[in-house]
């Protein structure tokens, strides 16, 4: 069951033409990208890369919020490496995604990192949107 937004904080507007070999642009012009099929060697990015950047940025924000809630100081050099894999499931009849987020949190103990990532994953809008639909692996290192 999806949650109805009670208060809209921001709405992104984009237009894409040409599918995976096309072009995408935001209405304000701040995003303007050439698209290419993964592995094609052609110039441009692909939807999986865009999703990886968006998810990792959102997850970092959720880490900051979780840190405040848990009274943990988040290291300035925290980083999230996101891997988004495109593959096939159901005897190769459907496409699906899988995500790995590898979070570098230098100076925090393993227990602190695990607690922080669980709290961030529970609140991150991307994590919440894909729960039950996309396999997500959370990794952390100090």
List, for residues 43-60, the tens digit of each pLDDT value. 999 999 999 999 999 999
pLDDT digits (tens, 9 = 90+) for 94-129: 999 999 999 999 999 999 999 999 999 999 999 999
Please state which CATH class domain 47-140 belongs to: alpha beta
pLDDT over threshold 80, residue 2: no
Return residue ranges of the chain for CATH 3.30.300.20: 47-140
Q: What pLDDT score was predicted for residue 91?
A: 87
Whole-number pLDDT of residue 1? 60
Q: Which strand ranges, in their side-by-side order, compose the sheet holding 14-17?
A: 14-17, 23-26, 32-34
pLDDT digits (tens, 9 = 90+) for 64-95: 999 999 999 999 999 999 999 999 998 888 99
Domain 8-45, second-level architecture: Single Sheet (2.20)
CA-to-CA separations, 39 to 4, 18, 20, 99, 107, in angstroms, rounded:
38, 17, 12, 18, 37
- Phi and psi at residue 140, to the nearest 5°: -145, 155
Using CA atoms, how far apart are residues 69 and 1, in angstroms rounded to an integer? Answer: 27
Q: Which residue spans of the chain are classified as CATH 2.20.25.10?
A: 8-45
pLDDT computed for residue 3 by the predictor? 79
Cβ neighbours of residue 54 under 8 Å, at least 6 residues apart? 126
Over residues 6-38, the pLDDT tens digits come to: 999 999 999 999 999 999 999 999 999 999 998
Note the pTM of the prediction, 2 decimals.
0.93
């Amino acid at each position: 069951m999806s949650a109805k937004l009670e208060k809209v904080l921001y709405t992104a507007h984009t237009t894409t033409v040409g599918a995976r070999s096309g072009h995408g642009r935001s209405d304000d012009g701040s995003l303007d990208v050439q698209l290419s099929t993964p592995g094609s060697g052609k110039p441009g990015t692909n939807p999986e890369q865009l999703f990886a950047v968006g998810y990792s940025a959102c997850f970092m924000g959720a880490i900051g919020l979780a840190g405040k809630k848990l009274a943990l100081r988040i290291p300035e050099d925290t980083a999230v490496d996101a891997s988004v894999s495109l593959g096939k499931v159901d005897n190769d009849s459907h496409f699906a995604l899988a995500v790995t987020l590898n979070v570098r949190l230098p100076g925090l103990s393993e227990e602190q990192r695990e607690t922080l990532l669980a709290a961030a994953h529970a609140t991150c809008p991307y994590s919440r949107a894909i729960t039950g639909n996309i396999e997500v692996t959370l990794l952390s290192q100090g």
